[in-house]
Structure formats: C-alpha cells, structure tokens
Amino acid sequence: MPSKPADSQQVKYKRIILKLSGEVLRSHETGDPIDWKTLERICRQIKEIHELGVEVGIVIGGGNIFRGISGTSRGVDRTTGDYMGMLATVINGLAFMECLEKMGVVTRVQTSIPMEQVAEPFIMRRAVRHLEKKRVVIFVAGTGNPYFSTDTAAALRASEIGAQALMKATKVDGVYDKDPAKHKDAVKYENLSYIDALKQRLNVLDSTAFSLCLDNSIPIIVFNLNQDGAIKRAVLGEKVGFYELDLDEDLGIHIPERLHDPAHQDAMRKVLVPPPVTKSDEIVAAMGGMYYNREAPDLPHFVDEGDHFEKGQTLYIIEVMKMFNKVQATFSGTIRGLYVRENGVTVRKGQPLFHIVPDEQVVEEDPEALALRVRAATDGYLERLA
C-alpha cells in the first residue's frame, strides 16, 4: 500500500533533478552495461520520494555503454563520439522508465534529440506540467549538443524547470579533495562554496554545471547512492551522508565552529598547503586537470624513464573542461623518473610530474643572496641618480 504524502513542512526540496551516472548501472560481476538488480534498487528509492509528493526529474549519463570523451582516444571524432554518448543515455532512460512503470510510477521520457517513436521531445512547459501531475520525467540525450556533459544537462534542466535542488548521486558520502577509494589521506570537506569548488577543480560536477547552478542559486546535494534511503534523507534535508553546496544569501563571511577544532585544522592543512616550489630537476604540471601520458591507449607514452626529450616535444596531456591540452617541453633534457605513472588521474597545478636532468645545467641561487644582490644594485642605482 503506497504511503501517504508527507507533510509539506517535512520535505525540504519539493522539486528536484536527480543526476545519476551511467556507471552506477554497470554490473561489476558480469560486466553487463545494465545490472537490473541495481536498477530496481535505485527505482525503489525514486518511488519512495515520489510517494512523499516530491516532483522528480532524472538526468542519466551513458558511461556504462559509451562515453563520448573516451571515444576520442580510440580515433572517434569528438562530435560523433558525443552523439553516441547521447544515444547511450536514451537506452538508460528507457530502462529507468520500464522499471519505474512496473512499480506503478507514471513516467515520461523527454529527449533533446527528436525521436518521436521513442520519447517525447523536450518542451519545458510540458515537462513542468508532467511534474505538476506527479509524473517522473526522465531527461535523456544530454543537452542535444556535443561538447556538453550530462552534468551540464542536469544543471540546465534544473534551471529550466525551477528545481529547488540538483542532487548528484555518487559512490562516496560527500566531497573530498581526492578519491577516497584510492587515497587513505583524502580529506572530506564539511563546507565549500561554489567558487572554491571551481578553483580547486573538484570532480563533483564540471565547471559549466557549477556556473549554471551558481548563477541560478540552485543548491547541489552530493550523497552516497549506496546507502539505504539516501535519496529520501536528502530530500528531507537531513545532514547525514550527504553534502550541500550553496550560496550565502548575504554573501557574508562567517567561521563555522567546526573550523576551530584542532583535529579538523590538522586535516585541512593537507589541502591548504601551497603547491611545491619548482626545482631545476623537476617538471611540474602546467595546469590542474586530468593527466594523460599517452594520446591513446594503444599508443606509446610520450616519454618514459631514460628518454631524451627535445624543446617543443609533447610530454603529457591535461584535460580541462573536456578540452585536451598538449603540454610541450620548454627546454631539452632527459627523464630520470616518473612521479605520476597512472593515466586519467587528477593533478594540481604545480604538482611534480617528472624527475629530469636538463641539457643546460641551471645554477640555483640562494634567495637571500639574490635579495642582497638586488638590494645592492638598487642602492647603487639610487646613489648614481643622487
């Protein structure tokens, strides 16, 4: 028997966009792109908040079937790859519709790419009307344009339908400075502004999606989808197991009590330390982003240990906002060691990447000696003017 809608005061967010990664549907046991048990588990949570009276819009990715950005590394044209990825989201959207309908939840699928026999075209007023009639609306095919992620599509649809929150389901219980599954010293942020999230390039949403939410004052809720009842607790406004990015109404500065906790301060020092000072025997990341040491999986590394590189030779690629930036050497030298050996990992600007021996030896001058020499030269210049 369906539960009665909750009191309006109980539900904090009455209209939401739920952003799901296509990867959450993949079976880790069989490798199948859609694990039906996982799909049913997620749909039960969606049904649960639907019965509370929450108006639900869903944006689903297609990474379990095809990811457009990865196609470029296999020689697929970027535009073609992105359209392939959009079609993958349609398959996932139809799977969600089928599962939700069998649970008794009336559902509509709207697509940004016209395909009349499969789904409705996206029309903002029609989507809002569906939500008002308590139908779940699944938005597929991204924005309908290449070079835009499903994160951006989620932020765009949230802005268009007047959603009170964008809820991003992840595998962890909040926002960390790095992947906690790979790094035991990962620090969880207790509070974070949009601007800080953009500056630190945190992998929550892409920067375009962040900017849309910032401009339209849409809070972003990040929670662990693997926790039972996580979506329900999020829409009720509970602070357990999820994280909220929001903008202060008064734009004022305040220091939360938790920031006075010495243990928390020690943990945050790991995040707030400045980038390492560049040394003459190191090459550091020219920018923050996703690091790649080869142009495609079947191609050799740009450089390896023991290789000699020339000025102007490509050393690595940094992917920022879906743009791949080849970084060339500004001098020639020899690679003595690799500090970053994995592909597809996030690096920060100034992070050491290579241990090198330059062809032209650089003489490092003591900072104090340099300061004294500059001061002496300045005093001499002033004396001559006098």
Q: Residue 369 has what pLDDT?
A: 82
Q: Which residue from 295, 382, 303 is spatially nearest to 341, judged by alpha carbons? A: 303
In angstroms, rounded to a whole number, what is the distance separating the alpha carbons of residues 238 and 215? Answer: 25
| Beta-carbon-side half-sphere exposure of residue 157 (alpha carbons within 13 Å) | 35
Classify domain 275-386 by CATH number.
2.40.50.100
From the number of C-beta atoms within 10 Å of its C-beta (0-12, 13-18, 19+), residue 112 rates as buried
Q: Residue 240 has what pLDDT?
A: 45
| Beta-carbon-side half-sphere exposure of residue 270 (alpha carbons within 13 Å) | 14
Q: Give percent of the chain above pLDDT 70.
A: 75
Q: Give percent of the chain above pLDDT 90.
A: 41
Res. 251 pLDDT band, cuts 50 70 90: very low
Classify domain 15-258 by CATH number.
3.40.1160.10
In angstroms, rounded to a whole number, what is the distance separating the alpha carbons of residues 289 and 200? Answer: 10
Q: Residue 274 has what pLDDT?
A: 46
Q: How does pLDDT run across 315-338, given as a tens digit for each residue?
A: 999 987 667 889 999 889 999 999
Give mean pLDDT, residues 358-365.
74
Judged against a pLDDT cut of 50, whether residue 75 lies above it is answered with: yes
45 neighbors 58 (Cβ within 8 angstroms): no
Residues 6+ apart with CB under 8 A from 381: none
Res. 245 pLDDT band, cuts 50 70 90: low
Q: How does pLDDT run across 254-280, given as a tens digit for each residue?
A: 556 666 677 766 666 554 544 445 567
Give mean pLDDT, residues 288-308.
88
Give mean pLDDT, residues 365-370.
78
Three-state secondary structure readout of the chain: CCCCCCCCCCCCCCEEEEEECHHHHCCCCCCCCCCHHHHHHHHHHHHHHHCCCCEEEEEECCCCCCCHHHHHHHCCCHHHHHHHHHHHHHHHHHHHHHHHHHCCCCEEEEECCCCCCCCEECCHHHHHHHHHCCCEEEEECCCCCCCCCHHHHHHHHHHHHCCCEEEEEECCCCCECCCCCCCCCCCECCCCCHHHHHHCCCECECHHHHHHHHHCCCCEEEEECCCCCHHHHHHCCCCCCEEEECCCCCCCCCCCHHHHCHHHHHHHHHHHCCCCCCCCCEEECCCCEEEECCCCCCCCCCCCCCCEECCCCEEEEEEECCEEEEEECCCCEEEEEECCCCCCEEECCCCEEEEEEECCCCCCCCHHHHHHHHHHHHHHHHHHHC
Q: How does pLDDT run across 142-173, given as a tens digit for each residue?
A: 999 998 989 999 999 999 999 999 998 876 55
In angstroms, rounded to a whole number, what is the distance separating the alpha carbons of residues 334 and 339? Answer: 14
pTM greater than 0.85 (yes/no): no
Judged against a pLDDT cut of 60, whether residue 252 lies above it is answered with: no
Q: How does pLDDT run across 165-210, given as a tens digit for each residue?
A: 999 887 655 555 555 555 566 555 555 544 455 445 555 677 788 7
Question: Six-digit token pair at 337?
Answer: 């060691």
Q: Residue 157 has what pLDDT?
A: 96
Q: Residue 258 has what pLDDT?
A: 64
Give mean pLDDT, residues 209-229.
81
Q: Residue 4 has what pLDDT?
A: 47
What's the order of all strands across the beta sheet hosting 345-347?
323-328, 314-320, 289-292, 345-347
247 neighbors 194 (Cβ within 8 angstroms): yes
What is the residue extent of each domain of the chain?
15-258, 275-386
Q: Residue 52 has what pLDDT?
A: 93
- Residue bearing the bigger pLDDT, 242 or 215: 215
Judged against a pLDDT cut of 90, whether residue 47 lies above it is answered with: yes
- Residue bearing the bigger pLDDT, 217 or 109: 109
